Amino acid sequence: MSRAVRNRIAGLVFALAIFVIDQAFKDWVRNGLDLREVGLVEILPFFDLRWTQNYGVSLGMLTATSVEMRWILVALTSAIALFVFVWMMRERKLVDIAALALVLGGALGNIRDRFQFGYVIDYADLHFGEFRPFLIFNIADAAITVGVVIILARSLLSRDKPDPANEPEIAPES
C-alpha cells in the first residue's frame, strides 16, 4: 500500500473521529446537560455553554425559513462535503489530507444535525465581557474553521520547489 493511500485512509478515519466526537458532544449537551431547558452553563468567566439553534450556515447566512430551504441547505452542504471528500481522495500529503478531513468531519456533523433536527446545534460561547469574537459555535464549526485556515495557510505560504531535473539546461554564452 502506498504512502498516499495510507494517508487517505488516515484522513477518512480522522474525519470519522471528528464526526463522532462532534455528535457525542452534541448528544451530551442535548440529553446529558439538557442544555435546551437549562439555557446556560457557566464554565469559565469567558466561556459558557449556551443552547442555540442555528437555522443558517456560516455567520447565520442563508437562514432556512421554510422546510424547502432546510432541504436546499442539506443538499448544498452535502454537495460541498462531497467536493471536499473527492478533493481529499486526490491529495497525497498527510497535512493537506488532515486539513480536508477536519472540514469533512465537521461538515458531516452539521449536515446530520440539519437533516435530523432542521437546525444545527451550537453551544460554545466564547466571550470577554460583552465582546464575542465569534458567534456561538460547536466542535464541527471549530474543525471546519481550523481546516480551512490550514488549507489557506498552506496555499499562501508553501511553494513547491521546482525539481532541478525538470529544468531545461541553459547553454553558456560564448
Per residue in 28-45, pLDDT tens?
999 999 999 998 999 999
Which entry of 22, 113, 122, 125 is annotated as an active-site residue? 122
Q: By the 8 A CB rule, do 107 and 120 touch?
A: no
Between CA 165 and CA 53 the distance in angstroms is 56
The CA-based dihedral angle spanning residues 119, 14, 89, 5, taken in that order and rounded to the nearest 10 degrees? -160
| Burial degree of 66 (CB within 10 A; 0-12, 13-18, 19+) | exposed
Q: How confident is the model at residue 169 (pLDDT cuts 50, 70, 90)?
A: low
Identify the weakest region by mean pLDDT among 25-34, 39-48, 61-70, 120-129: 61-70
Q: Does 97 score more than 60 pLDDT?
A: yes
Q: What is the mean pLDDT of residues 22-28?
A: 98
Which entry of 22, 141, 160, 163 is annotated as an active-site residue? 141
122 in catalytic set:
yes
| CA separation, residue 40 to residues 22, 48, 52, 87 (Å) | 19, 7, 10, 39
Per residue in 129-163, pLDDT tens?
888 888 899 999 999 999 999 999 999 987 665 55
Between CA 74 and CA 113 the distance in angstroms is 10
Q: How confident is the model at residue 171 (pLDDT cuts 50, 70, 90)?
A: low
Looking at residue 1, what is its pLDDT?
87
27 in catalytic set:
no
Between CA 81 and CA 97 the distance in angstroms is 14
Q: What is the pTM of this model?
A: 0.86
